[in-house]
Chain A
Amino acid sequence: MRGRTGGQADRWAGLLATLAVMGFAGCRGADGDATAGGKRILRIAYEREIDLLNPFTSQNLVDISFSMIEGLVSTDEHNRFVPVLAKTIPTTENGLAKRNPDGTIEMTWPLHANVAWHDGVPFTSRDVCFTWRFVTSPNSETYNREQYLGIKGCDAPNDTTVVFRWDGEYAYYAGLFEAILPEHVLGGMTPEEIVRHEPYNRGAKTIGTGPFKFAEWKAGEYIRVVRNDNYWRGSEYPGIDEIVWAFIPDANTRLNALKAGRAHFGRILPTQVKEVRDVPGYRVNLINSNSVMHLDLSISTEHGRAIFADSTVRRAIFLAIDRRAIATQLMEGTVTLANSPINSGSAFFNSAVAYPGPDRQLARQLLDQAGWTVGPDSVRTKGATRLAFPLLNRAGATDRIAIAQVIQAELKAIGVAVTFETLESAAWTQRWRAGKWEAVVSAWFLPADPSLTGLYACDGANNMTGFCDPALDLLLKRSDRTLSVADRKRDLDLAQLRLSESARTLPLYYNVVPEMVSAAVGNYRGSGTNFGSFWNLYEWTLAR
């Protein structure tokens, strides 16, 4: 009774209290301290848990892998390719890219000498050719495998030279081989075996040439990498002794971790930017990413054709949407307006492209002219067809759903009825890829190289909307198959213009990834490419 159970409860309480006091006493090397025993430990509040470390087969964007594994090139914050293990990127101008009379191209990549893998074995051109053989094999599960298929042969005349034999000109050559696999670890295995090879996927044998080496992976919690003391760029690099990538997928928890000073770096949501404006010791960098939030209309379905086949209707719909309000008000000014799927920082961006509007008056006029009259329920009809369509939303994508609601309200004002069909993420992906939708608000993550062919060509693998413009196809395919930057720019400029005029997709804004970085971190150069902000990790420093 009272005495018995009360006494027991007291004993437990006492035990817990004692342990708590012990805890307080014992825990003085708090998370936020960079120095645990004098070591410079960079703590990153990472926004996801990664699947595996092989940069070619991982389904995530591979920040962590790239801290350990390097390639011929990487991408800087201006979408420019910078050589890493290569000394120079071959171009026709510097003569390292040679056009043969039969139309084939020979590219010679000079490599740095004295580069060693983490286990001490020297890095050579043979590793590059090995990587090529793996990626181009049918079952390598490399997401952009097709782009490597233009390389018909790989030669390694000496340890520091690699020669690729291309069957033609491919504009995106410079972005390939962002990672190199170690032949002495993975050689002798079939591609299927390499894909499943746990020691390489999981860390035990994740050998790279990068500034950091694998140390520990605590499942579900963190990955720890340590300084590569024999890094080829010089013993002064890297300026950090250890990095702990803590997996904190929940955006609110991540924010709390940063506010509490428990991490030096973390990516937060645009809606949280205002929350952290006054946190001392941190800067919030709004990184424009290569990802454009846009509205796609589709004529793949019967209903889609019935309402969207007429470009006037599409133009009217686009005119009614106030993109500026979305960027400056809904997104609170954290994002910049986009007029093209190509990032505004890219050399191939066409700044002359613009979308008219917003102009509700004109939109209504256009719809009236096109024969869509307003019915008694305020929705326009033409014959038996109502100008109503569902927006396919992905559950949990709060920013897109917010945009969808704004679009719904704005289109309601011109007599277009938008409903929502919200599906769970994997279900949404399946519907989306099957093309069974009329409208979607989504964002592609474009590689640094601005090839739009897969998205907008008639036979583009990722063209789910059904739009087909042979003239656009010509421009896009030609822009893919030239080594002349000037020619490519000309074609892509025209393509962007043509795309905007065809009113098949409405770019809204460039996605922004706000990165909260501690003032203790030096040489951070935030980047929104698929390489991300850790592209120059070897240069980073951490104040003690």
Chain B
Amino acid sequence: MSRGSGWDRFRRHKAAVASVAVFAALGAACLAAPVLAPYQIDAIDLGNLRAPPSLTHLMGTDDLGRDVFTRMLYGGRISIAIGLLAALVGTGLGALIGATAGFVGRRLDSVLMRFTDVAFAIPTLPLLIVLSGYSEAALISMVTIIGGLSWMATARVVRSEVLTIRAMPYLEAARALGAANVTMIRRHALPNAMGPLIVAATLAVGNAIVIESSLSFLGLGVQPPTPTWGNMLMDSQSTMASKPWLTIFPGAAILLVVLAINFIGDGLRDSFDPRHHGG
């Protein structure tokens, strides 16, 4: 599986390539928020509430008269960061646990899977409330919870892939030749589980971003005045019929980013596509 052909495979996936561009553009814009933003993030203007998009305010103003474009840029930083970090934590943890469980098998597998069962049963909401008490660490608690409670599905997926692969003849041969378990996991199991793992990871990013907005719906999540696309989307719901731009901008942004990440994941999965997959 040479790098060259993997990259070629990715490039053939047009939607993925386009998505990289979109994601890079959005990401770069948000990163450059301090430079690009025309206004202060907390510049309240009570005389200009919920104004429609105009030349002075590209995306209009919100319920406190603040510039929506500015808040979209800064909000994107947090939303995207939550997505990426939570997915990293969740998928990384899940892959580790799943691969170990599938590969080592027996006792350890049983223990780990029961541990997974317990984790599945832990409710997100109370944990979030507990951790939200430390409000300076809002981002960290969000990432921890979303990531820390999303690893289970990935673990199961990776484990089943590893189980499938483990039964394959060439791995028996490798083991007979004396390869250590860790090497086997690293060299054989993980690369072959990459496909579903990538799908899981990209789904996780999108999930995390959307979960953040769902938490805003419940009144939790990142609290004002800190903007995130999620809480901007939620706050604008009550005036959706008459002031649609307030929902369209954050909503479209979430949509775009999640779509893009998922297409990128598709492309990545194809580029990793092993001919040995699926047995």
Contact = CB atoms under 8 A, between A and B. Distances in A.
Given A393-B223, A405-B64, A269 B42 contact: no
Given A271-B238, A329-B46, A405-B225, A427 B133 contact: yes
A425 B219 contact: yes
Contacts of B47: 329
Given A329-B46, A329-B47, A405-B64, A423 B237 contact: no
A396 interface: yes
B49 interface: yes
B184 interface: no
Nearest to A325: B46
Contacts of B224: 398, 401-402, 405, 422
Nearest to B128: A424
Contact of B135 (A326, A408, A422): A422
Contact of A252 (B63, B132, B225, B237): B237
B54 interface: no
A422 B223 contact: yes
Interface on chain A toward B: helix, strand, loop, or mixed SS? helix
A426 B132 CA distance: 12
B238 A252 contact: yes
Contacts of A393: 223
Interface in B124-154: 129, 132-133, 135
A2 interface: no
B173 interface: no
A272 B238 contact: yes
A332 interface: yes
Interface string B139-179: 00000000000000000000000000000000000000000
B181 interface: no
Interface string B20-62: 0000000000000000000000101011010000000000000
Given A275-B241, A398-B235, A405-B225, A424 B63 contact: no
B220 A420 contact: no
A275 B236 CA distance: 12
Interface string B216-243: 0011100111000000000101111110
A313 to B, nearest CB: 23
A409 interface: yes
Name the interface size band of chain A: 20 to 34
A251 interface: yes
Given A393-B223, A424-B132, A427-B129, A330 B64 contact: yes
Contact of B219 (A252, A259, A395): A395
A272 B239 CA distance: 6
Nearest to A278: B242
A402 B235 CA distance: 11
A257 B123 CA distance: 31
Nearest to B221: A395
A389 to B, nearest CB: 15
A409 B42 contact: yes
B64 A406 contact: yes
9 contacts: A251-B238, A329-B46, A398-B224, A405-B64, A405-B225, A408-B42, A420-B225, A423-B133, A423-B135
Given A395-B132, A420-B225, 7 more contacts: A255-B238, A272-B239, A275-B239, A325-B46, A330-B46, A426-B129, A427-B132
Interface of A: 251-252, 255, 259, 269, 271-272, 274-275, 325-326, 329-330, 332, 393, 395-396, 398, 401-402, 405-406, 408-409, 420-427
